[in-house]
Structure 1
Amino acid sequence: MSRIDSTALAFLDLRCPRCHEGKLFTTPALSPRFAQMPAHCPVCNQAYEPEPGFYWGAMFVSYGFSVGSFFIGGAAAYYLFDDPPVWVYILLVTLLVLLSTPLVLRYSRAIMLYLFGGISYNPDVAKTAPQPRG
């Protein structure tokens, strides 16, 4: 894996906040196990769960994404379908939220890790970090 020097690009690519090389998730976003994360970064051995229950806060971030989806879906239905019946709003917003769930969950966890994980980027850590056992 190649290192990404930009923190914003590493975040968008869902890479480790410490080394910007290791992937945060082990499976593709469209797989049934879209939320599966390794315990540590495969490159720098950074723990992806700084404390037990750390990702409970990601629920609030996910809620914010869902509220945004409601507004975007509702506005799109209103302007594209000329104020349709209520069932069209419900169907459109439900589909939008369900289809975006894998990405919302992944980016909610990444936001928690990048902003509240207490981890800073260190470009030299991959060279000196002890490798995980096992």
Structure 2
Amino acid sequence: MALRCPRCHEGKLFSHSALNLRQFDEMPVACPVCGQAFEPEVGFYWGAMYISYGFSTVIVALVGVLLYFLGHDPEVWVYVSAVAAAVLVFTPLMFRYARAVMLYAFGGTHFDPRYAKAVG
């Protein structure tokens, strides 16, 4: 998923890079290409918390399994530190992809080729 508008697949969902830790969460109000609103209703993205929770759970399980097998079952503080570091590092991506999944799955908008390259 390229984090693009669900209607035209061209406009960016986020205003800044995920590496910009001060503004990684900023989204334009609407798609700059086709004008599709990125927040269908007030509070729409509250549901993205559950998707993000699922992503976090996968990261915790993956790091735990990798540490168990590759690290030969280290002490508990190693697990806690590794999981905390992994979740912190991946937070901007989890946030963005959780919102994108929410918008694509429940936003009520689907790809329409008529809107692609509508402006410019």
2:100 maps to 110
**Matching residue's letter, 1:81:** G
RMSD over equivalenced CA pairs, Å: 1.2
Counterpart-to-counterpart distance in 1, 2:118 and 2:71: 57
2:15 maps to 26
Match of 1:91 among 64, 75, 81: 81
Deviation at residue 20 of structure 1 after TM alignment: 0.5
For residue 60 of structure 2, give the secondary structure of its aligned residue in structure 1.
helix
Counterpart-to-counterpart distance in 2, 1:14 and 1:128: 19
What are the residue-to-residue correspondences of 1:29-40 with 2, within 5 Å?
Answer: 29-32=18-21, 33-40=23-30
* Structure 2 length-normalised TM: 0.95
Query: Which structure 1 residue ranges, 5 or more long, are not aligned?
Result: 1-11, 130-134
Counterpart-to-counterpart distance in 2, 1:105 and 1:98: 11
Deviation at residue 127 of structure 1 after TM alignment: 5.9
Query: Which structure 2 residue ranges, 5 or more long, are not aligned?
Result: none
How many equivalent pairs are there? 118
1:124 maps to 114
1:75 maps to 65
Query: Identical aligned pairs, as a percentage?
Result: 56
* Structure 1 length-normalised TM: 0.85
Counterpart-to-counterpart distance in 2, 1:42 and 1:113: 16
For residue 51 of structure 1, give the secondary structure of its aligned residue in structure 2.
coil
Counterpart-to-counterpart distance in 1, 2:75 and 2:68: 10
Counterpart-to-counterpart distance in 1, 2:61 and 2:37: 36
1:8 maps to none
Deviation at residue 97 of structure 1 after TM alignment: 0.4
For residue 55 of structure 1, give the secondary structure of its aligned residue in structure 2.
helix
2:37 maps to 47
- Which 4+ residue blocks in structure 1 deviate beyond 4 angstroms? 126-129
For residue 52 of structure 1, give the secondary structure of its aligned residue in structure 2.
coil
CA contact (8 A) 2:33 2:118 kept: no
Bigger RCO (CA 8 Å, 6+ sep): 2
